[in-house]
Chain A
Amino acid sequence: MNIQNDKRQSFKKIGLVFAVAAAIGLTGCDPEFSNSVDDTSQFSAGDADFARFVAVGDSLTAGFADSALYIHGQQNSYPAILAQQFALVGGGAFTQPLMNDNLGGLLLGGNPIAATRLVLTGPSPDALSPAPISGVPTTEVQDVLNGTFNNMGVPGAKSFHLGFVGYGDVAGVAGGTANPYYARMAMSSVSTMIADAANQGPSFFILWIGNNDTLSYATTGGIGVDQLGNLDPTTYGSNDLTDPSVFASVFSQYVTALTAAGGKGILITLPDVTSIPYFTTVPFNAIPMDQATADASNAAYVAYNGGLQVSGIPAAEVAQRTINFVAGQNAVVIEDETLTDLTGGGLPSIRQATADDLIVLPASATIGTLADPMNPASVIGVGVALGDGDVLTASEIALVAAANTAYNTTIAGIAAGNPDLVLFDAAAIFADIAVNGIDYGSGIATTTFATGGLFSLDGVHPTARGYAILSNLIMETIENEFGAVLQRVDPGAYTTTFVE
């Protein structure tokens, strides 16, 4: 027996074994799914062409969040998220008028004209509230950006603004005739938003405009005017409700302009204000009292309640206006200019709120505090009525709803009348989410202020996660209507609110 040979043979065998091990190592490394979500060959544009995608709208389209426009929000705007997914199926470049920083806020001629974004902050972990992040904005409106922008979302724009000549004139910003966000991105001082968008010849567009036509009225507690019947929007105040005929007229013109290049598009309906935490966070009965406090507070209204009895107003209004605090939760006292004017007799137009009234989010900072620090009877919402601007009363809500419903009817009608257009019913979706929250696949988001995950700290605009959820829903519509197959995004990977 030749030991040398035997050993050589043995080492050959050991070598073979190693080779097998190495082969297994090289071939079997990664487990693979039979239907991998990362397999891009499964995605397609269907009947749509995303080569030139343009999104037109307001702050919701711009990626506004936390009361500001800032880079992170813009990068996570729903059009930006969509464009990134469209890129897998032939989508072209997508440009946005990026701000200069992640602080948000604007300078005009070096002077701040818009505050930085809101973050949660406070003296201790259990006393956090939204406040502008520290820092000075660096985005100068006068530094006008060059080029065209696929994201034509302009914060603050109302429906009729899209066709306003001069809305992008830097010189008009200080006087309020121009919009600073549009001024920094407009093609020229005399261009219009809709022309800047339509001139890009969109192969695919999204139009979501009209939110501010009710929202600016609603968020200011209805201090503006319902312009129903006034067909000249140049005479409107900034917090007024737009006449639905004006809306219908300009909206159809915009659709005509955007479809001129033969592209397809999505029209998005306008959510109702009752869907957003700006109006649903502060309860109408925000004032807790014990019996002694209730008694003392009632004493201050004996004269008012007595005056109502002899004022001659109908019994129903007397009952509506009679103020009565009890032990437990109490409705706040509010101003309501729709009540019969009894100020001549020294009786203010006040009543206690009901569940049908909506109190705006900023009032949470003032309710229960003293209007006059030296006067313990001046508790806001008790001894001092909450101002008209802090409450959207039931009658004001009805005006908003009527206008909004009319706008949405217009949008739905135009979408239904054109086979190249598809309706995305954000109004219905937001209303459902406000009640049920939404399971986005890797978690659940709700409209609960600050912690729900959907809405940013301004209570009106979504978080990046909210925009991502919206993007997935829009993609679902595109798939259903245009036969596309698109890769979804994971909303869980997007940010919500920021704590400083």
Chain B
Amino acid sequence: MKNTLPIVLITSVCAVSIAHAGGYRVSLQGQKAQGMAHAGVAMSESAEAVFFNPGAMTDIDKGEFTGSLNATLGTSVYQNEDTGASAETDSPLGTPLNAYFSQPISDDLSWGVGVYTPYGSSVEWEKDWAGSHLVNDISLAAVFIQPTLSYRINESFSVGFGPAYVTGGVEFNRNISTSLVDENGDRANVTLDASGVDAWGYNIGLLYKLSDKTQFGVNYRGEVTLEARGESAEFDNIPTSLQAAFPDTTFDADLVLPAELTIGVSHRATDKMTVAIDVNRTYWDAYEELRIEFDAPSVPTSVNPRNYHDSNIVRFGMQYDYNDSWTHRAGIYFDSSPISDGFFAPETPRNDSIGYTYGTTYRQSDKLSFDFSLLYLTFSEIDNSYDFFVDSGGVTQPFSGTYKTNAYNVGFGLTYAY
């Protein structure tokens, strides 16, 4: 009740969007990990392991449910010193959710299920801003539902695997050229709306215990391609004499949710303190282009080269068990951008970033505990351009400028074990 006040304060003051790692990967998959820089592949303390490392689930010797809600806030600004143009995103509040359940079947076998949203983007620039031919606004979300089995092979090794059902959608609006307007001067634009696009992925993990204090984890989540087929494409403000060429139609497009490999280590340095280091490699190389093919033959296929490259995130987290009731966490991570020079499109206006995290857990009882986390993510200012927009006259129109973004997240979680 009172606890909701800070969120109201923050959201009323700030423009918000989903906090991001590079590209449209969102690292908000569990409060405990979020407190320690989202490192967790070698941690085995929470049902969050369904996501972070299914191989670690066998270490959870009780049935456990953990779920959380995030309120995530972010703003990007743009300017171009040659044109004096400036713009700022005014994106809606992002509220990524996750929930995990883990239940031992025997000493060596556990099952569980996770629901989480590892990819998303919500960026809303001012309508008809300087880069409106690239994007006015975009909202992208994908929910993963992952049933999982985890098996302890011996005292050192355990493994886990879960297929993931993925359902996602995207809404994307942009102006169709740098200049086309109707007779009233309103910019011609297109809205692409795909929802309920589903696909399958998987999540596999391995945990290796070197000693009581030190364990290693490896996790791999497979690439998922959301194949939107026959989804809605609507054109607005098309001049009357061009309307025959731009009918409302349907489109096909593939959106790749890249694979991610994580390796990491955790070490219980003292009875109370644990440190963890994770390295993520996200296989963004798979995102070569956004290709939108329209069913109406008069609407030309929109080819948007992206040319992302694989990128790494390095995460350093620590956890301190203050007393029986309180655990505190902190972390820092360094996320490198998957975007190459000349491919910087304002739909994901994000550069290399550093994330600072804090988290805490309050155990009200053996069964019930509350989790809380904070993230502040600051992206380096970047001068870059997108050089591959082909305008209606056939002229390639580069779009350049300076971007700066920051984001933060407040997360609340609840864990119930029995």
Q: What is the CA–CA distance of A33 and B73 in the complex, to the nearest angstrom?
A: 19
For B399, what are the chain A residues with a Cβ–Cβ distance below 8 Å? 442-443
> Which of A18, A36, A493 is the one whose CB lies under 8 Å from B79?
A36
B325 at the A interface (CB under 8 A)? yes
Q: How far is the CB of B389 from chain A (nearest CB, A)?
A: 9
Closest 9 CB pairs of A and B: A25-B10, A451-B393, A441-B82, A490-B85, A499-B239, A125-B245, A490-B83, A496-B179, A29-B14
Residues of A within 8 A of B86 (CB): 36-38
Given the known interface contacts A72-B185, A442-B85, A490-B85, the answer about A26 and B13 at a Cβ–Cβ threshold of 8 Å is yes
| Interface flag for A14 (CB, 8 Å) | yes
User: Secondary structure at chain A's binding surface: helix, strand, loop or mixed?
Assistant: loop
Flag A1-40 by CB within 8 Å of B: 1 or 0 each.
0000010001001100111111011101111111111100
Counting CB contacts under 8 A, is B281 at the interface?
no
A-B contact pairs, 6 of them (CB 8 A): A30-B14, A30-B15, A124-B244, A491-B83, A498-B182, A498-B183
Comparing B98-106, B228-236, B401-409, the segment that makes contact with chain A is B401-409
Within 8 A of A (CB), among B49-87: 73, 75-77, 79-86
B9 touches A25 (CB 8 A): yes
B394 to chain A, nearest CB (A): 8
A37 and B79 contacting across the interface, CB-CB below 8 Å? yes
Contact A121 to B15, CB < 8 A, known contacts A37-B84, A493-B128: no
Q: B239 touches which one: A17, A437, A496, A498 (CB < 8 A)?
A: A498
- When each residue 485-498 of chain A gets 1 if its CB lies under 8 Å from chain B and 0 otherwise, what string results? 00111111101111
Q: Is B241 an interface residue (CB 8 A)?
A: yes
Known: A122-B241, A443-B399, A451-B393. 19 other contacts (CB 8 A): A21-B6, A22-B9, A26-B10, A26-B13, A30-B88, A36-B79, A36-B86, A37-B86, A441-B400, A442-B130, A452-B395, A490-B83, A490-B130, A491-B83, A493-B130, A495-B181, A499-B183, A499-B242, A500-B239
With a cutoff of 8 Å between Cβ atoms, the chain B residues found around residue A472 in the complex are 83
Nearest residue, chain B, Cβ from A443: B397
Q: State A381–B183 Cα separation when bound (angstroms).
A: 34
Q: Does B298 contact A (CB under 8 A)?
A: yes
Tell me whether A488 and B82 are in contact (CB under 8 A): yes
The answer to whether A497 and B374 touch (CB under 8 A), given A25-B73, A441-B82, is no
With CB as the reference atom, state the residue of chain B lying closest to A489: B84
CA distance A497 to B181 in the complex (A): 8
**A451-B178 Cα distance, complex, nearest whole Å:** 11
Residue A119 is within 8 A (CB to CB) of chain B in the complex: yes
Q: Complex Cα distance A499/B180, Å?
A: 8
> Is B196 in the interface zone, CB < 8 Å from A?
no
* A500 touching B240, Cβ below 8 Å: yes
Q: Could you tell me the distance between the alpha carbons of A14 and B183 in the complex, rounded to whole angstroms?
A: 57
Measured CB to CB, the nearest residue on chain B to A468 is: B83
Is A6 within 8 A of B325, CB to CB?
A: yes
Scan B1-30; emit 1 where CB is below 8 A from any A CB, else 0.
001011001100111000000000000000
The listed residue (B3, B76, B178) touching A14 by CB distance below 8 A is B3
- Contact between A37 and B81 (Cβ–Cβ < 8 Å)? yes
Complex partner residue of B398 from A22, A36, A124, A444, CB under 8 angstroms: A444
Docked complex Cα distance between A442 and B76 (Å): 18
Cross-interface CB contact of B408 among A19, A25, A119, A493, cutoff 8 Å: A25
- CB contacts under 8 Å to A, within B371-405, are 372, 374, 376, 378-379, 381, 391-402, 404-405
Count residues on chain A whose CB falls below 8 Å from chain B CBs: 62
B247 to chain A, nearest CB (A): 11
A35–B402 Cα distance when bound, in Å, is 10
- Assembly CA distance A133 to B325 (angstroms): 76
A37 to B410, CA, bound (A): 31
Q: Tell whether A499 pairs with B182 under 8 Å between CB atoms, given A10-B325, A22-B10, A440-B83.
A: yes
- Whether B404 and A31, one on each chain, are in contact in the complex, defined by CB atoms closer than 8 angstroms, is yes
Let me know if A498 and B81 touch, CB within 8 A.
no
B358 to chain A, nearest CB (A): 8
Residues of chain A within 8 A of B398, CB atoms compared: 439, 443-444
Q: A120-B241, A125-B298, A498-B183 are in contact. Are A10 and B362 (CB under 8 A)?
A: yes
B130 to chain A, nearest CB (A): 5
Chain A's closest residue to B245 (CB) is: A125
Q: From known contacts A125-B242, A125-B245, A444-B397, infer whether A28 and B376 are also in contact, taking CB-CB under 8 Å.
A: yes
Whether A446 sits at the interface, judged by CB under 8 Å, is yes
Q: Which residues A400-422 have CB closer than 8 A to chain B?
A: none
Q: Which residue on chain B has the smallest CB distance to residue A487? A: B84
Given contacts A37-B81, A37-B84, A444-B397, contact A18 B130 (CB under 8 A): no
- Alpha-carbon separation in the docked complex, A451 to B242 (Å): 14
Instruction: Indicate with 1 or 0, residue by residue over A456-492, a CB within 8 angstroms of chain B CB atoms.
Output: 0000000001000000100000000000000111111
| Contact call B376/A492, Cβ cutoff below 8 A | no
Judged by a CB distance under 8 angstroms, whether A453 is at the interface is: yes
Of the candidates B84, B241, B395, the one whose C-beta lies within 8 Å of that of A488 is B84
A30, B244: Cβ atoms closer than 8 Å: no
Verify B77–A32 contact, CB threshold 8 A. Answer: yes
A133 & B181 in contact (Cβ 8 Å cutoff): no
| Nearest chain B residue, comparing its CB with the CB of A85 | B84
Inter-chain CA distance A14–B401, complex, in Å, is 42
Chain B residues near A34: list those with CB within 8 A: 381
| Chain A CB within 8 A of B360 CB | yes
- Asked whether B83 lies within 8 Å of A488 as measured between CB atoms, the reply is yes
Given contacts A37-B84, A487-B84, A499-B239, contact A444 B6 (CB under 8 A): no
B362 with A14: CB separation less than 8 A:
yes
Could you tell me the distance between the alpha carbons of A491 and B399 in the complex, rounded to whole angstroms? Answer: 12
Within 8 A of A (CB), among B349-374: 360, 362, 372, 374
A26, B9: Cβ atoms closer than 8 Å: yes
Q: Are B244 and A125 in contact (CB under 8 A)?
A: yes
CB of A128 closer than 8 Å to a CB of B? yes
CA distance A26 to B82 in the complex (A): 31
**Given the complex, which residues of A lie within 8 Å of B84, measured CB to CB?**
37, 487-490
Select from chain A the residue with minimum beta-carbon distance to B4: A18
Interface centre among A36, A472, A493 (most CB of B within 10 A): A493
**Bound state CA distance, A441 and B13, in angstroms?**
32
Q: Which residue of B lies closest to A453 (CB)?
A: B179
Closest to B356 in A: A24
- Tell me the smallest distance from the CB of B243 to a CB of chain A, in Å: 8
Bound-state CA distance A29–B407 (Å) is 8
Interface residues in B237-293 by Cβ distance below 8 A to A read: 239-242, 244-245
With A442-B85, A444-B395 already in contact, the answer to whether A492 and B15 are too (CB < 8 A) is no
Contacts of A491 in B (CB 8 A): 83
Q: Which residue of A lies closest to B381 (CB)?
A: A33
Closest CB in chain A relative to B126 CB, distance in Å:
11
Report the bound CA distance from A152 to B74 in whole Å: 48
Q: Nearest-CB distance from B323 to chain A (Å)?
A: 10
- With a cutoff of 8 Å between Cβ atoms, the chain B residues found around residue A487 in the complex are 84
* A353 CB → nearest B CB, Å: 27
Which residue of B is nearest A22, CB measured?
B6
Query: Could you tell me the distance in whole angstroms from the C-beta of B16 to the nearest C-beta in chain A?
Result: 9
Residues of A within 8 A of B374 (CB): 17, 20-21, 24
Provide the residues of chain A in CB contact with B362, threshold 8 Å.
10, 13-14
CB of A291, distance to nearest CB on chain B (Å): 32
Residue pair B10, A21 in contact (C-beta under 8 Å): yes
Residues in A with CB closer than 8 Å to B179 are 453, 465, 495-497
Given A25-B408, A490-B130: A498 and B240 interface contact (C-beta under 8 Å): no
Of B85, B393, B395, B402, which is within 8 A of A33 by CB?
Answer: B402
Chain A, range 31-77, C-beta contacts under 8 Å to B: 31-38, 72
